[in-house]
Structure 1
Amino acid sequence: MDKLKAMKVFVEIADMGSLTAAANSLETSLTSVVRTLAALEEHLKVRLFNRNTRQIAITDEGREYYLRCRTILAEVNDAESMLIDRQAEPLGKVTVTAPVTFGKRHVAPKINAYLNQYQKMQVNLVLLDRPVDMLSEGIDIALRIGRIGNHDLVARQLGSMRHVLCASPDFMAGQTAPEHPQDIAGQPCVHLSVLDNPEDWHFQHGIKLMSVAMQTRLITNQVDAALDACIAGVGYCRFLHYQVSDAVKRGDLQILLPDYEPHPLPVHLLYAPVKLQTKRLRSMTDWLTQSLQQDLTVISQGGKP
């Protein structure tokens, strides 16, 4: 039995969640996939999937084997890529993940320019507003905004991101702009649930921390919905700066209390150390680092009085 081939088939079944889908992805027959899986399970003396005529579900043993197979296949792919690396141009596939809005506005355009520069490269861009397990989800490079904690990954800081208070000109019409966080206490607000506690908003001035209780009018986990509500004048709202930079430039929103913003959040590129042995990943991390650092510098300087 070709163990590497069997591992690849097994991983593809787990990723696709279907024998038929795995066969299509591998451009082989369903019969071949079924036979390979059966031979692998017979060799291992363990069932990797529970399956019936309608569905297939990975077992606990299969899940553990899956993680190890992904690592082994990645190592094999990297070993081959090291030889390919001797070519002048990077070649292969890279999977990149980023938050949805930041990914659309800033990462995707950089990747498009990268692909135009390197014709032999392929990029899988996965936009998610949640942390990912890079190993189990097959992610090569992750962009994260916020604290990242302890991990075994390389963390290359690209810059930082302000956490800003905003309101629309219509909402602010007829009232004095706040000069202190207490000036907005009890006022109506739009709560973007992925960023803040809905009951209290935290501010910072130097080393002094303070919190303000707000009157929540709308709670949403979607940036666009919060933006629309804030622009419509529903209330104050807090965003990461990149989420409102365009609206601020258009005059749809204004940034308030910039001297009381919480400490900016770090922005990092994360990747596993072993991955840097390949030219394709080095080229992608270098490209994103240089281009995104420029974007973050521009964003951080905008919107201040």
Structure 2
Amino acid sequence: MNEHEFLAGRFEAHRGHLKAVAYRMLGSLSEADDAVQEAWLRLSRSEAGEVENLGGWLTTVVGRVCLDMLRTRSSRREEPLEAHLPDPVVSPANGGELDPEQAVLIADSVGLALLVVLESLTPTERLAFVLHDMFGVPFEDIAPLVGRSTAAARQLASRARRRVRGAAPVPDPDLSRQREVVDAFLAATHRGDFGALLAVLDPDVVLRVDRGLPPGGGWTEIRGAEKVAGHALAFRRPAGAASGYPALVNGVAGIVNTVNGRPVSVMCCTITNGRIAAIDILADPDRLAELDLADLDD
């Protein structure tokens, strides 16, 4: 084995962790892969033998790459970017076939509701929060990445933490109970039972629907149990016109909705204290086509 092969092997041992960092930073699976590949290129051009803690070094490299990508996103915007959902990680409902990379990606309750809140942070706030609070990187190592003092890096994470704590519901851990609540929501919707819908919705529930970019798509965000229940009833399809199958979406109960066997949306429900606190629906046909949904309906 030559030196390059040895280095590649060491890098592969960290790939899953690095993609998890990049996914939390970027909310995009393809961009996360790009960030990890860039980290490999930088490692292959460096004096890797002098790196004592390769995992820590690679984590900060990926963090820097992602920060640059987020800043590039912002600098290219001539107008405010249409709101969008981060990429979901969809896996079988029984969880039995969750591959190791997917498990790392969605560890620590990294649901869509949390990723949506992370999208609202500034690039430096997101970096400080993700690296420190999610991966334990010391502020002394984060400070050079954001070009600030250690104290300022700590303040960035603190600001982000306050916003996340108030806006990202933490899902209940019991998957079987989550599924019961989602099934009750779907049954009430199909029956047209407004009261039953209110019974399973948190009073402050938020519904977000991403249909892709205009003019064909668009973004919908509705808050409050009565408004969300009314929207669900207004847009329900006649019996037999649509179907679907259960799935895990970022580790929590969800549904892949289909029409004539073709996936038309992925719905993620965040259940908190036995009620639905957030419903996130990806209905962008272009992004759905990029997801591997073929083998989930078993």
Is TM-score (shorter-chain normalized) higher than 0.5?
Answer: no
Hey, which of these two has a bigger chunk of strand by percent? 1
Larger radius of gyration: 1
TM-score (norm. length: structure 1): 0.29
Q: Relative contact order (alpha carbons < 8 A, sep ≥ 6): 1 or 2 greater?
A: 1
